[in-house]
Structure 1
Amino acid sequence: MPHPVLLNNVEHHDLRILGGHGAHLGDNVMTAVTFPSEFRDVQACYPIVFRKTSDGLGFEPVALFGLEEGHNLFLNGTRWEAAYVPMMVERQPFLIGVNGEELMVNVDLDHPRVSRTEGELVFKPHGGHTEYLERVNALLFAIHQGMQQLPGFLAALLEHELLESFALDVELNDGSQNRLLGFYTINEDRLQALGGEAIARLHQAGYLQPIYLVLASLSNFRLLIDRKNASLA
């Protein structure tokens, strides 16, 4: 279980973070949450789909790395074989904490990237921020800003009934039949049927481009299938 605590330079003066990639560092995951301002980078490498949130009351967009839970097809030993790694992966083991209007940095002390003996130092010897921590702060702020876009974007999709569930049936080279379930995508027929006024409102709100980036990303399912076949060879 995650063990997030408020980062501070007294208790965590010797905290180090392991870099690189690998299953032992928590990278063998099927998905990572993303947001509209990140879609352009994400869609260049991965399918963007939607899933229901853990409380079952809403939706969230995710970058899809594999066809089954706990399997990242872009992870090859200690290499992440894609040009872009989503921010929600890059920020590990740090999280955003919010106290009123103040943003704070939390760290998951139980994350496998956390060390006291090797990796990037988080604080300087006298307690100041290292360049590494400054980069983490910038990354977390970008994530926070991006997540602020999500409620309005998702509300617009639901208002126009643009989300639909889908099933992806895949026959792999070894003859096995596989089905991907539990995800949602943009209903292209409903999108095409929207009137000019609705399209204009989506465009004015900045939501039309992310919608088309989601649709463009679906071509990456072929890449996932190819990588899955390669892993079986």
Structure 2
Amino acid sequence: MSQQNIQPLNKNIHGKIKIKQQSNFAHIKGQHLAPVVVHEFSRAGSEFPVCFVKNSDSGSFQPVALFGVKPGENAYTETERWEGTYVPAVVTHFPLALVADGKEEDKFMVVIATENEVVNEEDGAALFDDNGDETEFLARRKEALGKYLEHTHMTKMFTEVLVEKDLLVQQNLEITVKEEKIQINGLYLVDEKKLNELSDEDYLDLRKRGLIGPIYAHLNSMHQINRLVTKKAALS
């Protein structure tokens, strides 16, 4: 969450809180990418380039959807409405999130970012009713957060398999927008040549795990770079 004042959700503190429906997801206005889980690759890949970035501290990889060709630019939040047909799940969960409790490794708690335009006490869907009980809206949001957490674990396993089989390679892209050359660095893609050179045993292992579909959804999604170039040109 990029917004400040993130607090553990508490009915005594947030009993009157309401969440307004978001139209253009302004909280990611200056964000050129966002995490996606492997279950989203097919839908997200029909809209955005889906690639991988590397955490310089941990060395781990995270699949992301690209919203812009430069850091700080998001081609999908330039108007009052989201300029696309699909919104990654992590974006729609805002201002709520699940985070590790800290005391117990396997326990998670719901937190809320309170300082933003969608959280208020007048307009939107309530989190708690007059008795302090969770509303159906909050129950649905918590269920979605729990499912997303499961998906992040599966995604972590997916990326670890790609690393284990040495399939991820760094790719620096150069695009041209109205005669301006722009470098997109630090992206990792599955090397299709290495994929095709896998032994029958390794390829079958990927297929049995259900990973071939997401891999090709990722590879095919890189054609969406052209969509970003078009959007960038329209905004320039």
Larger mean CA deviation between 98-107 and 148-157 belongs to 98-107
Report the equivalent of 1:142. Answer: 147
The answer to whether the Cα contact below 8 Å between 2:32 and 2:68 also exists between their aligned partners in 1 is yes
3-state SS of the aligned residue for 2:13?
Answer: coil
Residue 231 of structure 1 corresponds to 235
CA distance in structure 2 between the partners assigned to 1:165 and 1:198 by the alignment? 22
Q: Is the 8 A contact 2:22 2:118 kept in 1?
A: no
Q: Deviations over 1:92-151 (max 9, x none)?
A: 111113344344311122344322333322111211222321221122012101111123
Is the Cα–Cα contact under 8 Å of residues 21 and 79 in structure 1 kept in the other structure? yes
1:131 aligns with 2:136: yes
1:4 corresponds to: 6
Q: Secondary structure at the match of 2:110?
A: strand
**CA shift for structure 1 position 162:** 0.8
Q: Which residue of 2 aligns with 1:181?
A: 185
Structure 2, unpaired ranges of 5+: none
Cα distance in 2 for partners of 1:102, 1:56 equals: 22
Q: Which residue in 1 is equivalent to 2:115?
A: 110
- Look up the match of 2:162: 157
TM-score computed with the length of structure 1 as normaliser: 0.91
Q: How many residues align?
A: 231
1:176-227, CA deviations, whole angstroms, 9 ceiling, x for partnerless residues?
1111111111111101111111001111122222111111111111111111
Is structure 2 residue 189 aligned with structure 1 residue 190? no
RMSD across aligned C-alpha pairs, in angstroms? Answer: 1.8
The answer to whether residue 22 in structure 2 is matched with residue 20 in structure 1 is yes
| Distance in 1 (alpha carbons) for counterparts of 2:164 and 2:119 | 42
Give the equivalent residue in structure 2 for 1:199: 203
What percentage of residue pairs aligned between the two structures are identical? 27
Q: Say if 1:65 and 1:122 are closer, same or farther in 2 by CA, change over 3 A.
A: same
Deviations 1:56-112 (A, max 9, x none): 421100011111112111223211121110001000111113344344311122344
Matches within 5 A, 1:41-120: 41-53=43-55, 55-99=57-101, 100=104, 101-120=106-125
